Every structure is written in C-alpha cells, then in structure tokens.
Amino acid sequence: MAFGADNIDDGEIAHFEDHAADWWQAKGPLKALHDINPLRLGYIQTRCGIPGKTFLDVGCGGGILAEALAAAGGVVTGIDVAPSALASARAHMRQRGLDIEYRRMTVEAMARGGKRRFDAVTCVELLEHVPRPASIVRACAAVVKPGGDVFFATVNRTWTAYVLVLLAAERLLKIVRKGTHTYRRLVRPAELSAWAVAAGLTVCDISGFIYLPFAGRAWLSRFDKMNYLVHLKK
C-alpha cells in the first residue's frame, strides 16, 4: 500500500502549539481531555488489554493517553508533528519516571518506512483535525500487526454535535478553546467504518459517550451523535 505526502494542516498545528503550557494543567484549557482519559483507557483495557503490549499513540499531543497506557503496563511509542507538544510530553514523562518513546513524525511516514508494527494503535481526537482522515486510517492499519487492535476517538458530524460541541462547548461555556473544531471536518461513524473496511480492518465496536464537564465525568452510551469511540481489528 502506497502512502502519499504527510497529512498535515499548519493551521491546526499552530492552534495546538498554543497549548504548549496547558497539556498537564488538569483544570486548564485541556481539562476535557483529562476528564475523558480514564474512559478511553478503560475502553482500551476492556477490549484488548494493555500490560505487555506495544502501542503506537498517533497524534499523542502532550502525552495524556500515552502516559496512561505506559503506567498501565504498555510499551508505548507516541508520535506527533507539534514540537512543543512533544517537548511537554517528554518533560512530564521524565517527571513521572516513565519510559515512552516520543518521535516527531506522521503515521503515514511510519507506514512508508514499513518496518515497525505494533500490537495496538490508538488515535484519539485527531481525525477531525487533518485534511485527509482516510489516510490516517489506512496508515494506522498498515502499522498494526495482523490480529492487532486499532482505536479511534472522534466527533460525529451531526447537528447535535454542532450545537453542543462547537457552539455550546467552545463559544458559550468555553470548555474547549474556540476554533478547536471545524464542522465540515467532523467524521461520521459510517465514514470511518468504510475507510476502516477498505484498509483491511474489521469493525468490532462503535460506542458513543457522554461527558459532563462540570462534574468531570464521562461514560459510554449508545448515543453516538457527539463523541464516539471505535474499536477495529486487523
């Protein structure tokens, strides 16, 4: 399978570079990522297990999920293209005494290399920020071992998400920084499923989840019109 140019939006990178000092402020601008991280970790643990497995965390940012996977016994590699995010990830990793390999690269570049394969690949809150999300899905499928697991978390392209995620969360409640999401880039489960099947993956589960920001709680739900998680198998 051939992979083209790296799948990067400079505007999106600049947006997240502005979060350089925010990644590990649990009550700061990225509070939502910290609040939902236990849910994501539990979903991965339940569906494939973590201890002793090799993980690639695609679009790892400041390492919130990567650290949780490593602390749970995973052997973790995190990749991202934002230098300040990776610097924050490395600094916090050292503070906690964890061993995570962080690299500045895209998953397409890793797939082009064709050498490394992982037991599981995670890609959370990234598909809605790239020009060609199907390319991310194909590359994730290429770097996971046969029989391995791939996990995505993203936002559905519905009017419910538009009202509650883009308008309410970003503009009214200011839970998420304004401009974080663009409606046309949100991804419907059917689209993600089609890209996954075309890449040789089997859809095992699609679960929505509900997040209550003021309570700092999130739980799985059949309601997938906003945020949702996907488990795929190669």
Question: How many structural domains compose the chain?
Answer: 1
Cβ contact 74:51 at 8 Å = yes
Q: Is residue 5 part of a domain?
A: no
Confirm whether 165 is domain-assigned: no
User: In 3D, which of 152, 144, 153, 139 has the Cα closest to residue 53?
Assistant: 144
As a whole-number percent, the residues of the chain with pLDDT over 90 amount to 69
For residue 183, the model assigns a pLDDT of 78
Q: Indicate whether 163 belongs to any domain.
A: no
Q: Is 220 exposed, middle or buried (0-12, 13-18, 19+ CB in 10 A)?
A: middle
Residue 170: half-sphere exposure toward Cβ, Cα within 13 Å: 13
Query: Is 96 part of a structural domain of the chain?
Result: yes
Segment 197-206, tens digit of pLDDT: 999 999 999 9
Does residue 179 sit within a domain? no
114-138 tens-digit pLDDT: 889 999 999 999 999 899 999 999 9
Residue 12 has pLDDT above 60, yes or no: no
The answer as to whether 43 is a domain residue is: yes
- Position 26 confidence tier, pLDDT thresholds 50, 70, 90: confident
Q: Which region among 143-147, 204-208, 210-214 has the lowest average model confidence (pLDDT)?
A: 210-214
Residue type (1 letter), 141: A
- Name the band, by pLDDT with cuts 50, 70 and 90, for residue 215: confident
Q: What was the pLDDT predicted at 134?
A: 97
CATH number at residue 117: 3.40.50.150
Which domain, by its residues, includes 55? 10-156+185-233
- pLDDT of amino acid 29: 80
Beta strands 101-104 and 75-80, pairing class: parallel
Answer yes or no: is pLDDT of 186 > 60.
Answer: yes
pLDDT attached to residue 173: 53
Task: Judge whether 171 lies within some domain.
Answer: no
Q: Indicate whether 164 belongs to any domain.
A: no
User: Average pLDDT over the chain, rounded to whole?
Assistant: 89
pLDDT in tens, 153-179: 999 999 887 777 666 555 555 566 655
Which residues have C-beta within 8 Å of that of residue 158, sequence separation ≥ 6? 186, 188, 225, 226
Confidence of residue 5 (pLDDT cuts 50, 70, 90): low
Question: In the numeric block, which tokens belong to residue 64?
Answer: 């919130």
Place of tokens 């939502």: 32
pLDDT band at 213 (very low <50, low <70, confident <90, very high): confident
